Structure 1
């Protein structure tokens, strides 16, 4: 008698390359029967020919009602971690603690929960409940409480600038805003994978961001985790993070590591593909396997060379009329890949966020100098035109 394939309920919002080219092919390689639950079925139908079920994926009750009898429930969406975790818990399946998913998504809750380990000034954007203006440690970072992609994140230096930026953001969106003290230092990421019993550090990127007042990630270079990383692991443990993939952003300044934000999913913007290639592991399969209840593999992956992800940013509003197609080449000893995030013909409006990315150049080579030179040659050989 044939053994039925394990079923995976994959919960998704918008179409992303990580799901389309990472997790869905990995599920196929694992022989899983996939049901894709989404509130955007038409969009996913263009890239996935399997079973797609339309439902309100922001509501865990709807996920439970439409999931069938799954062996695993998984999402790679920032917005959907908590409802997916609650649905997995309903079925008694391995999954993330819904409280940890809530704490990591809600920046006010995260700061409150970490206050004993790392006190950071944080308040609602109206500064209500404070003793007076002298208690506010400008400069501050103003941001949506549950925002993503550096959208509507600003550095503000005084009360007048805060009020102006606050009004500017609220003209576009109504969700809650928070302010936090500005944390100086070198920005890093920490990439981890846990199975509920153990958490493994996969690696770290050193990140270059745009000049203030915006915080757009422009370049990520693979680097050994800094010596202060243990403090970040302590804070992730306090938040309850320890299952599945997690992407944490933090700064190191004068020997002190401090969390900026925690994204309880794998790193995005094509750096997940770069990390998988650099480590030489089936990263997406490993992430899905822990959601199926399997332990982490015994082998600890080691990077094979140096790696960089460098984005091509739009520099003006207009229509993208010329840009390279998806490309994979070898330049000397460097493996280089380019994947567009905007297609020719797309209208582009500058947002000073990660949504300004036209594409990402990924490169892996024997040393940093060769990688940087290959990226520079690729940029020089191609044109991105916004008319």
Structure 2
């Protein structure tokens, strides 16, 4: 009896249990999926902070690298040869134009001057005798007391004496100039560099090596480079009226190597008439007052050029601008329907902590600047109350 019922009963019972468990699991899975979809549909829109675009008049500037250069540079060289007797200046100090810098041994040139002076005196003495002789011969010629030939000879001697006086005068002036050149003077006022010679050195007229250098530091030049494309773009903006130029000469300010701002403002003097074929840049030169000699030749600086005023400039905080995979500037904008949409922008440099936007945004657009990572294009979003108050205040700041 036991053998007849023991085998089939457990097999049927096990199959029923498996089917029941599978049905229960399927029911639970369907319920969880539906519950998740309902939960997702019920999630509130992400809260974001926005910046409301408000065009304002902005002073458009360009920051360019540059180096300082002396206003005038004079290399001091001897104009006569001889031994250097004295150095008459302190290296690294300021000197005035005409100040004595070196003394070259003047003995030889003093002797030449004295000789030229004596030659002039001799020529003048000859002239004193030849002149009256011509006058006497002229009277005698009228009464035929002398021949025409004697008179002509006397006139010729007189003219020769006058020429000799002029030649002696010129020789004396040359000797005087050479004697004065034995004192080497500063050609310009400015800061003098170190001396390349010491007393006892032999120098020659017009030698290739300068004795020292004098540089005028007040005012001082600042040479900066700008791309020809940027220069052309600014010119087009001015011609179209989008950028208004203030004054005949653009104002320039300096940022020093340590990040501090230079106290004096400068003016743009000129730009190169040709483009460097190697770099595609043009050189701009600005002139700055330098009364305290804070700027020295060769210093690296950054020049900020005031290009003009954009009456309807759009400036957006940097945190609201990102780049896509193609390197294009983009911004997420919250539209009137409360949906997020992506805009591709064209930027035109920076203004403080903001990007200047040329195209892609208009007045009233709400650019998402906080919570960008929480939203995607097409998703709904709402403005956080605190962010809304900040966004309302931002346009007023930009207008200043």
Would you call these one fold, judging by a TM-score over 0.5?
Answer: no
TM-score range, shorter chain: under 0.3
Quick check: which has more Rg, 1 or 2?
2
Larger RCO, structure (CA 8 Å, separation 6 or more): 2
More helix by share: 2
After TM superposition, the score normalised by the length of structure 1 is: 0.22
